[in-house]
Amino acid sequence: MALKLYTETQLKNWMGETGRAVIEADELPMVEIISNGIMSRFENVLGRTIEYQADDTEEVIAHGNKLYLCRFPLIGVTSIIPQSSDGTFDSDDDLDTDSYYIDTDNGCILKNSGDFTRSTIYQVVYSGGYNDYQATGDGYTLPDSLVQAHMMQFKYEYNRRNDLGVSGQNSSAGSISVAPYGLLDGVYDLIRPLTRIKMRSA
């Protein structure tokens, strides 16, 4: 299930029809395609995965004393296991939690002393990311700037859903493909501060 950056009330307002009680069922596929396409482009620009997931597994190569993970802010790390010579990951090799610490906001695990082993793949099981808008959960609260950026881009694309040359998913409410649209300048300015900052190795 894709991360939702809107409530139904907001959605009706963005669609310019505040008097309606509900979003019609035949509109939902198009709405979700627009929203999911925007989120995908946000993640491509930011170089990160935004949606919260518990116990996600990722295999990464260290950058000196750092392991950069895709899904952040980080909530917690369950295990960090270096790949053995036979290509497997043995739970007996799980790193001691006292040997590293977490940079929550930057999606990074840092070794307390020295570097991680060069050219070694580490399997990391961790939890991180943001909750749906106005939802409660174990993830972090979505930044207002991300919600505003999504609203701006959604309104732009929804209002042009029937433009000449737009094709893709068809429904009785219209036809849409996210491909013709880039991110608006104002949208890019809003999400750019959420890009990961990679630090130099110690």
Among the three residues 79, 106, 128, which one is the final residue of a domain in this structure?
128
CA angle, 68 then 74 then 76, to 5°: 110
- 201 in a structural domain: no
- Please report which confidence band the pLDDT of residue 200 belongs to, taking 50, 70 and 90 as the band edges: low
Residues 153 and 173 in one domain: yes
Q: Whole-prediction pTM value?
A: 0.80
Residues 63 and 124 in one domain: yes
- Please report which confidence band the pLDDT of residue 168 belongs to, taking 50, 70 and 90 as the band edges: low
Residues 137 and 175 in one domain: yes
In angstroms, the CA 162 to CA 174 distance is 6
- 88 in a structural domain: yes
Q: How far is CA 59 from CA 25, 164, 192, in A?
A: 40, 43, 26
Residues 41 and 137 in one domain: yes
Please report, for the chain, how many H helices and E strands are present, in that order: 4, 8
- 202 in a structural domain: no
What value does the mean pLDDT take over residues 165-180?
50
In angstroms, the CA 16 to CA 34 distance is 16
What pLDDT shows up at residue 41?
92
DSSP 88-139: ---GGGPPPGGGEEEETTTTEEEESSS-PPTT-EEEEEEEE-BPSTT--SSS
Q: Where are the beta strands (DSSP E) in the chain?
A: 53-61, 66-68, 74-82, 100-103, 108-111, 121-128, 169-171, 174-176
Residues 122 and 180 in one domain: no
Give yes or no for a contact between 108 and 68, defined as CB atoms under 8 angstroms apart: yes
Domain hosting 100: range is: 53-128
Residues 162 and 180 in one domain: yes
- 106 in a structural domain: yes
What pLDDT shows up at residue 165?
47
What value does the mean pLDDT take over residues 141-165?
83
Q: What percent of the chain has pLDDT over 70?
A: 79
Q: What is the pLDDT of residues 28-68, one digit of tens each?
A: 788 888 888 899 999 999 999 999 999 999 999 999 999 99
Give yes or no for a contact between 109 and 100, defined as CB atoms under 8 angstroms apart: yes
Among the three residues 95, 128, 161, which one is the final residue of a domain in this structure?
128
Among the three residues 105, 128, 151, which one is the final residue of a domain in this structure?
128
